[in-house]
């Protein structure tokens, strides 16, 4: 007798179909990669099995008669504040499989979201506000080490710097597309990010999966990543981008490596990553050549040598308890950009317990890293970029006021093209055609349409950032950087305010 695993008795979602409006077109059957809808030959109409539904809403969005509703299952276990249904279902699943729980996307736990407890200032009478529609408003940002002082010589063509600046990454918006590897997301999305970044004058990050040969043409808007697995890393790759990023840690899974399941490694991914087709691509937890800041320094300078000191080198770490000390070491090791990825950062696949319990909020990590680098007098030796849970333009403004030079957006860019945060990226069956390399699914993303949507998002945020800056009486993003007086806390305790370095509202 076949006994259904216990975990499958307790599904999270219910599919509701208004039978009178359903025209049996089978669109939902074709759209659901989890086979939750199917044709019933005996009854001659489309039926469903809610137990298979992961709540991605693709079928409901595509149904031509809008007769589908996906609901959270209303019946649940008896209320118990300790043994919530999430923990009960986790245990059922682990007792069924004996395996580690996996998740995609970011930490959904109800931990404090400090962005929501910080409020922005606005000008009133003195220092009047600026209308960004009538006056210039500068969002251009340069990432890289800045000299302690600059010396000019005067020439007939105007003032010229006496010493060349260290290499800089020029961005027209203080926003970049975060590292999402080719393989974790598919080629169409990489093309889209590359084209959107080029249109916008910003950068996208390859992630740890190498760079597809067709994307070398977008090198001026590409940051190439070097991670512990060194997938797809070679001299031409390092020289293809406008910056190189060494990934030491990732916010969604600090302290552990990466894992791209073999099912997602098709021929193209295999060639780009330089790993066998169909085999799991596992990047180790540490870089096996980095066991100290001195080792990291060696790698930074090896990359600088390989790229002839033309491009800035970034080092990305997860936001953890001692992020300020680590960041200080990274800057002293010669990095031009420090990237801090908070615990709400997205991922294609992470052990659920790591994703939900390791790391700290990016807002706290950012403020404490900025403080530490200022206290040590080395803040201008590197730019700070933050990632992990940036949801809207106000989050960007608050991040910059806390001390960031720019932000990375990953999840927001995927939401722009349809992601509904169903969290099943690791299955390779993403019904929105994003976190999948299956031929029939990835064609759901048209690179031109996706590029336009991503570019629209950043432009819209750019307009909003200009409005917020103007409202504060500032006419450039540079004037906001680290200007914490423009922030006030609401509903935060003394310790939180102290770490963030802001006053409480009313003060």
Which residues lie near ligand SF4 (CB under 6 A)? 15, 17, 22-28, 31-32, 34, 36-37, 46, 53-59, 63-65, 67-68, 70, 104-105, 414, 419-425, 430-432, 434-435
What is the Cα–Cα distance from 490 to 169, expressed in whole angstroms? 35
What is the Cα–Cα distance from 185 to 349, expressed in whole angstroms? 11
Nearer Cβ to ligand SF4 (174/418): 418
User: Which residues contact residue 165 at a Cβ distance below 8 angstroms, ignoring those fewer than 6 apart?
Assistant: 144, 146, 147
CA gyration radius, the chain: 24
DSSP H/E element including 37: strand 37-40
What is the Cα–Cα distance from 433 to 431, expressed in whole angstroms? 5
Residue 36 beta carbon to ligand SF4: minimum distance, rounded to whole angstroms: 4
DSSP 182: B
The full 3-state SS of 132-169, as one line of letters, equals CCCCCCECCEEECCCCCCCCEEEECCEEEECCCCCCCE
Residue 181 beta carbon to ligand SF4: minimum distance, rounded to whole angstroms: 13
Nearer Cβ to ligand SF4 (227/349): 349
Residue 418 beta carbon to ligand SF4: minimum distance, rounded to whole angstroms: 7
3-state secondary structure of 328: helix
DSSP H/E element including 281: strand 281-283
Nearer Cβ to ligand SF4 (130/178): 178
What is the Cα–Cα distance from 432 to 57, expressed in whole angstroms? 9
User: Which residues contact residue 41 at a Cβ distance below 8 angstroms, ignoring those fewer than 6 apart?
Assistant: none
β-strand partners of 383: 337
Residue 266 beta carbon to ligand SF4: minimum distance, rounded to whole angstroms: 17
At 65, give phi and psi (nearest 5°): -110, 10
**Other residues' Cβ atoms within 10 Å of the Cβ of residue 186:** 29
What is the Cα–Cα distance from 407 to 395, expressed in whole angstroms? 9
At 49, give phi and psi (nearest 5°): -125, 100
Nearer Cβ to ligand SF4 (53/203): 53
Nearer Cβ to ligand SF4 (26/289): 26
What tokens does 400 get?
Answer: 């910059």
Largest distance between two CA atoms of the chain? 91
Nearer Cβ to ligand SF4 (414/468): 414
Residue 50 beta carbon to ligand SF4: minimum distance, rounded to whole angstroms: 8
Nearer Cβ to ligand SF4 (17/190): 17
Nearer Cβ to ligand SF4 (21/140): 21
What tokens does 267 get?
Answer: 């021929």
Residue 423 beta carbon to ligand SF4: minimum distance, rounded to whole angstroms: 5
At 72, give phi and psi (nearest 5°): -70, 140
Residue 39 beta carbon to ligand SF4: minimum distance, rounded to whole angstroms: 9
Residue 9 beta carbon to ligand SF4: minimum distance, rounded to whole angstroms: 17
User: Which residues contact residue 408 at a Cβ distance below 8 angstroms, ignoring those fewer than 6 apart?
Assistant: 175, 176, 177, 178, 179, 205, 339, 341, 385, 386, 387, 390
Residue 189 beta carbon to ligand SF4: minimum distance, rounded to whole angstroms: 9
Nearer Cβ to ligand SF4 (47/274): 47
Nearer Cβ to ligand SF4 (57/93): 57
Residue 482 beta carbon to ligand SF4: minimum distance, rounded to whole angstroms: 34
Nearer Cβ to ligand SF4 (229/418): 418
Q: Are 237 and 222 in contact (CB under 8 A)?
A: no
Residue 35 beta carbon to ligand SF4: minimum distance, rounded to whole angstroms: 8
What is the Cα–Cα distance from 399 to 481, expressed in whole angstroms? 9
């Amino acid at each position: 007798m076949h006994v259904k695993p216990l975990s499958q008795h307790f599904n999270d979602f219910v599919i509701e179909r208004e039978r009178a409006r359903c025209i049996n077109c089978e669109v939902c059957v074709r759209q659901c990669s989890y086979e939750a809808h199917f044709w019933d030959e005996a009854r001659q109409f489309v039926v469903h099995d809610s137990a298979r539904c992961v709540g991605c809403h693709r079928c409901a969005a595509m149904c031509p008669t809008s007769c589908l509703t996906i609901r959270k299952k209303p019946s649940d276990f008896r209320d118990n504040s300790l043994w919530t249904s999430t923990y009960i279902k986790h245990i059922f699943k682990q007792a069924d499989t004996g395996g580690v729980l996996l998740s995609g996307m970011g930490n959904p736990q109800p931990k404090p979201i400090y962005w929501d407890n910080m409020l922005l200032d606005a000008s009133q009478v003195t220092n009047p506000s600026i209308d960004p529609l009538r006056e210039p408003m500068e969002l251009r940002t340069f990432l890289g080490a800045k000299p302690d002082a600059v010396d000019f010589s005067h020439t007939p063509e105007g003032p010229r710097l006496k010493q060349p600046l260290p290499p800089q990454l020029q961005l027209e918006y203080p926003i970049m597309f975060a590292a999402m590897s080719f393989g974790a997301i598919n080629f169409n999305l990489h093309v889209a990010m590359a084209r959107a970044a080029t249109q916008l004058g910003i950068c996208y990050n390859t992630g740890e999966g190498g760079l597809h040969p067709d994307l070398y043409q977008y090198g001026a808007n590409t940051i190439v990543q070097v991670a512990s697995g060194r997938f797809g890393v070679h001299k031409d790759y390092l020289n293809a981008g406008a910056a190189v990023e060494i990934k030491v840690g990732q916010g969604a899974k600090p302290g552990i490596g990466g894992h791209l399941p073999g099912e997602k490694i098709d021929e193209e991914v295999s060639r780009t990553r330089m790993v066998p087709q169909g085999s799991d691509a596992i990047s180790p937890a540490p870089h096996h050549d980095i066991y100290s800041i001195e080792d990291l320094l060696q790698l930074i300078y090896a990359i600088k040598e390989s790229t002839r000191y033309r491009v800035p080198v970034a080092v990305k770490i997860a936001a953890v308890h001692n992020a300020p000390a680590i960041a200080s070491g990274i800057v002293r090791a010669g990095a031009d950009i420090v990237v801090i990825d908070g615990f709400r950062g997205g991922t294609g696949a992470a052990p659920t317990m790591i994703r939900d319990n390791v790391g700290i909020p990016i807002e706290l990590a950012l403020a404490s890293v900025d403080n530490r680098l200022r206290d040590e007098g080395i803040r201008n030796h590197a730019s700070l970029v933050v990632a992990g849970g940036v949801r809207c333009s106000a989050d960007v403004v608050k991040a910059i006021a806390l001390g960031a030079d720019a932000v990375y957006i990953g999840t927001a860019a995927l939401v722009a093209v349809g992601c509904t945060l169903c969290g099943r990226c690791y299955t390779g069956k993403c019904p929105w055609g994003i976190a999948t390399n299956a031929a029939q699914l990835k064609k759901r993303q048209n690179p031109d349409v996706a590029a336009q949507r991503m570019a629209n998002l950043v432009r819209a945020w750019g307009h909003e950032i200009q409005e917020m800056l103007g409202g504060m009486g500032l006419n450039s993003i540079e004037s906001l950087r680290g200007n914490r007086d423009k922030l006030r806390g609401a509903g935060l305790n003394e310790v939180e305010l102290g770490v963030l370095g802001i006053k409480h509202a009313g003060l």
